Amino acid sequence: MTTTSSDGNALDGLPSRDLATVWRARLASNGARPFLTFHDDTTGERVELSYATFGNWLAKTANLVQDDLLPEPGDRIAVSAPPHWLTAVWAVAPLLAGVVVDPWGEPKSAHTAVAYSDERALDAARDCPGERLALSLLPLGRPFDVVPDGFRDYAAEVRGFGDRFAAFEPPTPDTAALVVGGRTLTHRELVEAAALAASTFGDGASLGGADRVLVDARRDPFSGAELVDWLFAPLLAGAAVVLVRGAGAERLDRIAEMERATRRLVLG
């Protein structure tokens, strides 16, 4: 399967690769360009991450996963958090270390549970028999003032890890990657799904490297399939994501104009 983006940049061969290879290629070509801009209209927060800055967070988090959490290849991390720039980090970083990401998955059987500061999410995550990390989701990635009982504070922990990452066992196309609809996709299948989503995005036109996708996040839980649409498809196409929470229709229009959005996607 070969997909060509709307600006003429071919995605030749990417479906046969692993996500780590795809990410390195995108980082090498797009380093200084914006990748993810996050707006939280309930707090006024705006964070813009270039591909390089997002890559720095990925490396630190992947090092935390590999060196501190000590998972075996194929172990599963249940990530329970709303659409957010840190959720995006946790959707990608474990994959670089060969670990499976399970969005809003069952913590009881997970190697690690990562949950945001919502009591229901934290209560469920406490059933995880392994490590438990909490995401404050405070502006600028600040740590908790008071860490939830039974959890480690991701924002405080991650800062001590290096900003370069090398996997002990680099993922291959057949390495398990992302849980979608109760089924675990391999890296190859994830890249194929993202390529398909990028080629038929929204109105049917392909995503390209010049696109800026405004994502209207209207609810907290999201599926693995939605994650493919709002994160992995733009990543594969080399596009930018403008992720917005808590904004009404009029405000969304203003953000779309301000951020020069070219495409839109609604979650929920």
List all residues 6 or more positions away from 54 whose beta carbon is below 8 Å from its beta carbon.
35, 36, 85, 88, 89
Which domains, ranges and CATH numbers included, belong to the chain?
Answer: 14-267 (3.40.50.12780)
Show Cβ contacts of residue 206 under 8 Å, excluding neighbours closer than 6 positions: 3, 4, 5, 6, 198, 199, 200, 237
CA 253 to chain centre: 24
Nearest Cα to Cα of residue 199 among 64, 37, 55, 6? 6
Q: Tell me the backbone φ, ψ of residue 241, rounded to 5 degrees.
A: -115, 130
- Beta strands, E only, the chain: 34-40, 45-50, 76-80, 100-103, 112-116, 131-135, 152-153, 176-180, 183-186, 212-217, 240-245, 263-267
Region of residue 18 (phi > 0: left; psi between -120 and 50: alpha; otherwise: beta): beta
User: Kindly report the CA angle at 112 between 20 and 35, in degrees rounded to 5?
Assistant: 35
pLDDT digits (tens, 9 = 90+) for 62-118: 999 999 999 998 999 999 999 999 999 999 999 999 999 999 999 999 999 999 999
Q: Which residues, other chains included, contact 46 with Cβ-Cβ below 8 Å and sequence gap of 6+?
A: 37, 38, 39, 40
| Percentage of the chain modeled with pLDDT above 90 | 82
% of the chain surpassing 70 pLDDT: 91
Position 6 scores a pLDDT of 37
At 187-225, the pLDDT tens digits run 999 999 999 999 988 667 899 999 999 999 976 656 888
Residue 202 has, within 13 A of its CA and on its CB side, a CA count of 17
Report how far Cα 135 is from the mean position of its chain's Cα atoms: 14
12 has pLDDT over 90:
no
What is the distance between the alpha carbons of residues 190 and 182, in angstroms, rounded to a whole number? 14
Q: What element of type H or E holds 130?
A: none
Q: Rounded CA gap, 148 and 227, in Å?
A: 27
Residue 8, pLDDT score: 37
Q: Write down the mean pLDDT value for the chain.
A: 91
Q: What is the pLDDT at residue 16?
A: 60
Reported pTM: 0.93
For residue 225 the two structure tokens come to 């399939």
CB 244 within 8 A of CB 255: yes
Per-residue pLDDT reduced to its tens digit, 88-97: 999 999 999 9
